[in-house]
Structure 1
Amino acid sequence: MNAKDRKEKFEQNLDVQETSLLNFEGMEGWDVYNCSQPFFYKGKWYSYGRIERRKEWMRSWVRLFERTDQNRWSLVDDSMHYQLEDPYISFVHDQIVMGGTHVQVVEEDVLKSYFGYFYYGQDLEDLKYFTTGPENMKDIRLVELADRRIGVFSRPRNKKLIEQYGSESLIGFTIIDSLADLNAHVIENAEILPDLFGSLEWGGVNQAYLLDSGKIGVIGHLSYKEEDQSIYTVMSFVLEPETLVIANYKMIATSKSFAKAPEKRPHLKECCFPSGIIYHNEDYCTLYSGVGDTCEAVTKIEYPFKGYGKLINPQFIDLRETR
C-alpha cells in the first residue's frame, strides 16, 4: 500500500481525542516548531525547539524550553543558542546527546548544503560538539541498545537511490560500540532498510526507543508529493536490531490528527514532522510534532508499540498522564 492510500485509509478511521498547539512563552515574534522529543531531567520536563521568524527560511536557531504547565513551555534563560534546525535528543552511555541540522547557504534563501551536528555531555548547560554527519544527510538518530552498543539510523538521499529503490531518501541502520565511533563514514555506510517507502516517497527516523523486549521502537515521517503539496505523515515501526526484521509498520498520525496551525509556505499545509512520544501506559501515549513548519502540537494516540515492548527510558515516561 502506498503512502497516499495509507493516509486515506487512516483518516477514514481517525478519532482525534485530545489535541492542542503548544504555547512558548518568551518567544514573541518567533515560531517554535519541529522540537526535540520532550525529556525528563532533574525533576523537570524539557525540550529543544527550533526557532525562526515566520518570513525567514534557513535561518533557524535551537533553544532549550522548560514545561511550566499543561501545553505551556518557557524559554530557559541564558540557555545556549545553537545554529541548527530540527533538534533531537537521546541518552547514550550516561550522556545526553543532542543533534540537529546545520544549514549552509550560498546566499540568503539559497541552499548550499547541510550536515548533522552532534553534541554530548552530562549537563544540559554544558554540551560539547563531538562529530558531524555526512554532507546533505538529515535525520540521523541514535539509540542505546540492550547490550549497551549504539544503534544508528541514517537517512541517505541521492538520485542513485531512485534507480535501485524507487525513492531518493531512505533509512539505514548500523551498530557501533561507542560515541567515539560515530562519524560520517560509519553513518554513510549504514545498511539500507528496504520496503519502507513506495515509488518517489521518502522519509526518515525522528526518534528511536529501546523497548523492554530488546527491540527498537521507531517514530518517523513518511512523505510524498501530491500536486503542489509536500505531504508529511507520521509513521512507526519496530526493528529487531540484529536481524533488521521490521514489524508493525503503520501510519499513526497525519495533519488532521493535530490542532490546526498556519503553514510557513503554501506547499506545507499538510506537514507534520514528529518529535516523539511520552509513554503513559500500554494503551496510550502523547505524540508531539511540528506542524506546518510554524508550530508544535500534541495529540493523544494509542501506544504504537503495544505487543512489542514498553519504553524503558525514564526520560520519556510520564505515568502521571499530564502534558
Structure 2
Amino acid sequence: MTSNLIKPETCEQLLDTFYAKLRTTQVKKLVFSGVGNRDVYNITAPFNYGGEEVLLGRVEERSSEFSQVFFFTCEHEVWSPRIHTHTYNLQDPCVTMINGELIVGGVEVITAPDQPEVIVSWVTQFYRGRDIDSLCHFSSGPGTMKDIRLIELADGRIGVFTRPQGIRGGRGQIGFTIIRSLEELNEQTFAEADLLKDQFVPEEWGGANEAHLLSNGHVGVLGHIACMDNQAHKHYYSMAFSLNPQTLETTPIKIIATRGDFPVGPGKRPELKDVIFSGGLIRSGNGRAVLSVGVSDAEAYQIEIPDPFIEYELN
C-alpha cells in the first residue's frame, strides 16, 4: 500500500499514463426495451438474483433530468423492465449486499416549491430488504451529496464512502468512515467521515461509485475523476484505487477507461460529450474484468478490461 505522501496528479497527467500502457478491450452496447423512447444510462453492474441476471439503470428522456430507476432483466441480449417491480424516482442507482440484505441507493432531485420544473438540490436515498420486492427506505444522505457508497468489510463492519463539496470538499472529495450497523447510517456518520488525502488537485473532483472487498481486506474503489475545460465542457473518466480501511492509506488514482474506448454516439448535451460514469465492475477471476458505464449521459455500455484491482492484492 502506497502512503498518501504522493502529490495528486491531474486528469491530464493520469491520461498520459493511461495512454502509455497497451491493453486489449472488448466493448458491448447494451440494448433496452420497454421504456419508450427514453434513454437508459448510468447502469449498475449486473448481479444474480434468484437465478436471473439483474441490473439497475437510470431511465430518462433526452431533454429532462427527471428520471426513474428500473430493475432490468435480460433475455436474448435485450434488457427489459423486470415484471411487477417497483420503480424509483431517482438518478444514478447503486447496489450492494450487506449482511445478506440487498442495499439500493439513488439520487432524488429536489425541486423549487413554486417551480416544480426547477431542480434546486438533491439527496441520496437508501433502501434495504431481503429481496427486490420488499425494499424499504432506511436512510437519506445530506443535501447535495452524491456518490455515497457502502461496503461490508472483512470484519463485518460497514465502510461508508462520502463525497462532501463546498467548504470541506471543494468541487468534490472522497470521504470514508466505518460504522457497526446500517442503523448508524445517519447524518452524523456522513458529517464525520474522514477525507481521503491528496487524491485530487483543487480544480478537479471525483467520487466513489462502487467498492470491492479485496483478498487482503483492503477495499478496491471504482470511481470517477473529472475536470472542466475553459469552454465549461465536463470530462469524466473511470478510475480506481485501493484503500486500507484501518489506516486510510490509499494507492494513487489510476484511470481505467475513457470516452474514447466507446463508439461515437449521442450525448445528452454537447458539454457532456466526453463523459463516462462508472456503474459497476465484475471481476472475472482470470485477470480480466467487465466494467459497466453510462456514456455521455445517453447510453449504457460494458467493456472488458484488465482487472484493475489485481495489483492491490499482490502487496
TM-score, normalised to structure 1, is 0.90
Matched residue type, 2:67: S
* CA deviation string 1:125-167 (max 9, x = no partner): 1100011011110010000000000000000011x247xxxx4
**From 261, 265, 283, the counterpart of 1:261:** 265
2:73 corresponds in structure 1 to: 66
In structure 2, distance between residues paired with 1:261 and 1:20: 13
Which residue, out of 90, 95, 102, partners 2:101? 95
Matched with 1:121 is 129
Q: Aligned partners of 1:177 and 1:102: how far apart in 2?
A: 26
- Structure 1 contact 37–207 (Cα < 8 Å) conserved: no
Q: Determine whether 1:154 maps to 2:170.
A: no
Which range moves more in the overlay, 167-176 or 8-17? 8-17
1:233-252 to 2 correspondences below 5 Å:
233-247=237-251, 249-252=253-256
CA RMSD of aligned residues (A): 1.6
- In the alignment, which residue of structure 1 is the partner of 2:5? none
For the 8 Å contact 2:95–2:103, the answer to whether it is kept is yes
Q: After superposition, where does 1:172-321 map in structure 2 within 5 Å?
A: 172-228=175-231, 229-247=233-251, 249-309=253-313
Q: Decide which moves more: 47-56 or 170-179.
A: 47-56
CA distance in 2, matches of 1:24, 1:281: 28
How far the C-alpha of 1:13 sits from its partner, in A, is 4.1
Deviation at 1:39, TM superposition (A): 1.2
> Any idea what SS the aligned residue of 2:122 has?
strand
- Structure 1 unaligned runs (5+)? 311-323
Corresponding residue for residue 3 of structure 2: none
Gaps of 5+ in 2: 1-8
Question: What amino acid sits opposite 1:169 in the alignment?
Answer: G
Per the TM alignment, residue 55 of structure 1 is displaced from its structure 2 partner at its CA by 1.4
Per-residue CA deviations over 1:2-40 (Å, capped at 9, x if unaligned) read: 112212442354645311211012123110111123211
Q: Is the 8 A contact 2:199 2:252 kept in 1?
A: no
TM-score by length of 2: 0.92
What is the SS of the residue equivalent to 1:297? strand
Contact 1:269–1:292 (CA under 8 A) maintained in structure 2? yes
Superposition deviation, residue 108 in structure 1? 5.0
CA distance in 1, matches of 2:271, 2:80: 30
With over 3 angstroms needed to count, the CA separation of the structure-2 counterparts of 1:230 and 1:251, relative to structure 1, is: same
Contact kept? 2:290, 2:303, Cα under 8 Å: yes
Give the letter for the 2:258 counterpart. Answer: T
Report % sequence identity.
37
